Amino acid sequence: MSVIVVGAGVVGACCALTLVRAGYKVTLIDQSAPGSGCSYGNAGSISPGSIIPMALPGLWKKVPAWLFDKDGPLSVKWSYLPQAAPWLIGWLRSSSEEVANSSAAALTALNKNVMENYKNMIGPKAYSKLIKATGHLIVQKNKPTGYGDRFAASLREAYGVNIKELHGEEIRDLEPVVGPQFNYGIHMQDGGFTINPKKLVNALVESFIDAGGRFVMNQVRDIQADNNGMYAVTTRTGTIITNKIVIAAGAWSKRFLSEDKIKIPLETERGYHIMLHNHNVQPSLPVVAADYKFFSTPMEEGLRLAGTVEIAGLHAQPKWNRADMLLEHAKQVFPGLSAEGSSVWMGHRPAIPDSVPVIAESKSNKGVFYAFGHGHYGLSGAPNTAQIICDLVLGNKPEVNIEPYGLSRFQS
């Protein structure tokens, strides 16, 4: 049985590794080196407790203010609005209590045991080099009291997220570099972060190759079923015949979905980072400034400030002021922050309106499996996504209820 996995981001790399360990002949294909897409520049947070969907009750009221604030956490390229409108409407619709609650349940199951799973996947040596079990810290100037925030807190409680609330100086006892104006914090105690997301993907791909897998750098152009129940995967340079295919091409998966009977609302939420190379402030764990909605993560190559959501599709040029804005906001969080030397990056989060990825077999093409749409939490959800995909490919019943990740939610 041969399987081709399209896309060597964190999701595809986990899928390929899990499938090769299950005994399949697996080829992992990416148009670039592994971990060059969205999995390259993220904030590195790995957290079983990252279960709060982006669309929360009360979202309707917040969006207009965000859109008209040029430094706000959400930006929409107006010329792209007609294309993005169905997704944006789906996103607003997902902000009901009912949908947000079922998304949190689905993300809880998906992120379970993520740290242990990575250790098992890349081995204890690479794990201790690349992953730190610090948890992460969310800070705010004051305890939030809005509808959405209260609802998020109730979800964390309902789904057993291990948190510690911090007040006033308790924040600086845990993380001294956070400014005194931040009076409320949540220490997400489980999980941690990777000091280098690209190296994490490389480590997964190395384990995959060690287990007998093959990585090919090439662009997949087309996928066609042949008459013998096999698939022809056309690349830039030729055609490969395979039994099964896993589409894990992140935000670019869309080009492979046109044949599906069901219209899957996959959009990209573009995000940015600015990496400060020589900086004078060093948090010991990732700090999320919830008032500004970005992460500051102490990485191998510097302090990475990452976040923001920009709806502008796959082809628009980056707007680097979105990355510069992160530095201005970080100066509000870490008093006296200065840096010499920085680099900026923009990446395409693959996003589904309800924040729950698609992990399912295609409705139209049996033997083609989908593993994309992990939005803001791809590092946390990738290992269990891979386990579900492996079970589906093998024809086994996955341990978790897969209904929430399926396609029926998109059928009206």
Q: Which chain residues interact with ligand FAD by CB under 6 A? A: 6-12, 29-32, 36-39, 42-45, 219-220, 248-250, 252, 271-273, 295, 306-307, 347, 349-350, 372, 374-380
Indicate the residue among 57 and 249 with the shorter CB distance to ligand FAD. Answer: 249
CA distances from residue 78 to 85, 270, 314 in whole angstroms, order as listed: 10, 14, 14
**354 with 94: CB under 8 angstroms?**
yes
CA distances from residue 108 to 35, 61, 115 in whole angstroms, order as listed: 25, 27, 14
**SS3 of the chain: helix, strand, coil, percent, to 5:** 35, 30, 35
What is the rounded distance in angstroms from the CA atom of residue 315 to the CA atom of residue 39?
A: 18
Indicate the residue among 127 and 272 with the shorter CB distance to ligand FAD. Answer: 272
How does DSSP assign 326-349, residue by residue? HHHHHHHHSTT--EEEEEEEEEEE
**392 with 247: CB under 8 angstroms?**
no
**355 with 80: CB under 8 angstroms?**
no
Q: Which ranges of 112-259 would DSSP assign to H, the alpha helix?
A: 114-130, 147-158, 169-174, 197-210
Q: Tell me how far, at minimum, the Cβ of 48 lies from ligand FAD, in Å.
A: 11
In the beta sheet, which residues pair with residue 4? 27, 245
Indicate the residue among 8 and 275 with the shorter CB distance to ligand FAD. Answer: 8
Provide Rg for the chain, Cα atoms. Answer: 21
Q: Tell me how far, at minimum, the Cβ of 15 lies from ligand FAD, in Å.
A: 9
In the beta sheet, which residues pair with residue 247? 6, 370
For strand 2-6 and strand 192-194, is the pairing parallel, antiparallel, or unpaired?
A: unpaired
Q: Tell me how far, at minimum, the Cβ of 350 lies from ligand FAD, in Å.
A: 5
Q: Tell me how far, at minimum, the Cβ of 231 lies from ligand FAD, in Å.
A: 14
Indicate the residue among 244 and 374 with the shorter CB distance to ligand FAD. Answer: 374
**81 with 313: CB under 8 angstroms?**
no
Q: Left if phi > 0, otherwise alpha if psi is -120 to 50, otherwise beta: which for 253?
A: alpha
Indicate the residue among 57 and 269 with the shorter CB distance to ligand FAD. Answer: 269
- Residue whose token pair is 């750098």: 217
In the beta sheet, which residues pair with residue 167? 184
Q: Tell me how far, at minimum, the Cβ of 147 lies from ligand FAD, in Å.
A: 25
Q: Which ranges of 131-252 would DSSP assign to H, the alpha helix?
A: 147-158, 169-174, 197-210
Q: Tell me how far, at minimum, the Cβ of 50 lies from ligand FAD, in Å.
A: 6
Indicate the residue among 57 and 253 with the shorter CB distance to ligand FAD. Answer: 253
Indicate the residue among 40 and 57 with the shorter CB distance to ligand FAD. Answer: 40
Q: Tell me how far, at minimum, the Cβ of 386 lies from ligand FAD, in Å.
A: 11
Q: Tell me how far, at minimum, the Cβ of 13 lies from ligand FAD, in Å.
A: 7
Q: Tell me how far, at minimum, the Cβ of 76 lies from ligand FAD, in Å.
A: 16
Indicate the residue among 151 and 294 with the shorter CB distance to ligand FAD. Answer: 294
Indicate the residue among 21 and 136 with the shorter CB distance to ligand FAD. Answer: 136
